[in-house]
Amino acid sequence: MSLSNDLQALLEPASHDQSQPTQTQRLQPAVPRGWESGVRYEPGGSMVVTAPPAEQPPAGEADWRERVEEMGLAIPDGFRVRLAEARHDPAAWHRDAEGEDAVTRAVWRCRYVIEPAASAWLSTGDVDALVRDALRRRRKPRTVLDAAQRALIVVYADAQAGKVGRDGGTRELVARVADRFDKLDDHVRDLKALGRGPTAAYWLDAGDCVENVENTAQQAHTNDLTMTEMVRVHRRITFEGLDRLAGRFDRVVAATCGSNHGRVRRNREAVGPPSDDWGIEVLSQIADAYARNEDAYGHVSFVMPERWRESVSLDVAGTIVGLAHGHQYARPDKAVDWWRGQTFGRQPIADADILITGHFHHWRAQQVGNGRLWLQAPTLDNGSDWYTARSGEVSASGLMVFSVGPDGWDDLRLL
């Protein structure tokens, strides 16, 4: 066919068969942009379905499912159809038959989501019932825990025997400690009455057991004890505390760590390794004395730092508890950073779940990392007047105690 003939054919009217619209074309309304029928697959496995327009509004989940399946889509097991959007279009136009003018007829345009079926109790009524039943449930009988799985931890920190301050001197210190020991007896009885009485106990001395005479120049004029008297007072207080625990528990562990006031010094400078510490020496003396009477004290053991270490860790009923004095960092806010560095350095407290420190004479607790706990123990001394003069803060004295069991720590109190 020549080019002119091709052009002539294009200009001639189409035949009847070619121009006749199909039934589908006659009934197809104008479709707004974005509402074309189809399926969009989402990354999570759900599908967004835009259905063809319908003259009747969506009636319910069975109707939604039927409209989706009419598009040839199979709904997988465990999935449901949810109506996501429905719009009423009152001006959709149709050409019902050949040669007729376009007419308008209202239609409904709907989008559905095929998604994993939600939990059956997500309806409002079921949620109400869930909460009601949970709160009104009958409590299960409390199971009796194996006492060997629970341990009491007693933290004795910063007594600084020999120090004189706003709260007195040695006489007041001994009376304060004796009062705390009486409260410790009451606490043990309370735990047993509650069904949480442990049979293992840990005595953790967090350091600064004596004031010393070489830390500062003023100590020569403010202390009321000599160096040997300080050591003697601390030794006798520790004997009393451990004797009370040894008489009540089948297993007792005593531990301590090096500290700045406990360190052996000359002209304010530390001499010897970190283990050259009066607190560590006193605990060594008590360990020697207990070893002389295995019948009475054979169930008491002792843990002290290695010669060049300042901290220790103990396995307490499955929880790793670390003990350090806290003088290794300048401010209490730096405790967690120091602990993190010790972990990286694979030091004794690297794997500790709970870290106990003293030195800063106030109580603080902070959860850090993934389930770790830092406990800053309160002081037992006669007051830090220099710190009060500088900051205005006054620390309250106390003996920190808590328990450790299969579910972690609990029963934290300041006595």
The mean pLDDT of 162-177, rounded to a whole number, is 91
Q: How confident is the model at residue 92 (pLDDT cuts 50, 70, 90)?
A: confident
- 76 against 5, higher pLDDT: 76
Residues of each domain in the chain carrying CATH 3.60.21: 147-414
- pLDDT at position 125, please? 62
The mean pLDDT of 16-20, rounded to a whole number, is 49
- 10 against 329, higher pLDDT: 329
Q: How confident is the model at residue 221 (pLDDT cuts 50, 70, 90)?
A: confident
- pLDDT at position 99, please? 61
Closest CA to 375 of 131, 258, 206: 206
- pLDDT at position 19, please? 47
- Per-residue burial over 198-232, b = 16 or more CB atoms within 10 Å of its CB, e = otherwise: bbbbbbbbbbbbbbbebbeeebeeebbbebeebbe
> Is there a contact between 196 and 412 (Cβ–Cβ < 8 Å)?
no
Q: How confident is the model at residue 21 (pLDDT cuts 50, 70, 90)?
A: very low
Kindly tell me if the per-residue pLDDT of 312 is higher than 60. Answer: yes
- pLDDT at position 406, please? 86
The mean pLDDT of 331-337, rounded to a whole number, is 91
- 128 against 344, higher pLDDT: 344
At the top level of CATH, the class of 147-414 is alpha beta
Closest CA to 37 of 56, 52, 54, 55: 52
Helices 227-246 and 170-193, axial angle in degrees (round to 10): 10
How many other CB atoms are there within 10 angstroms of residue 274's CB atom?
18
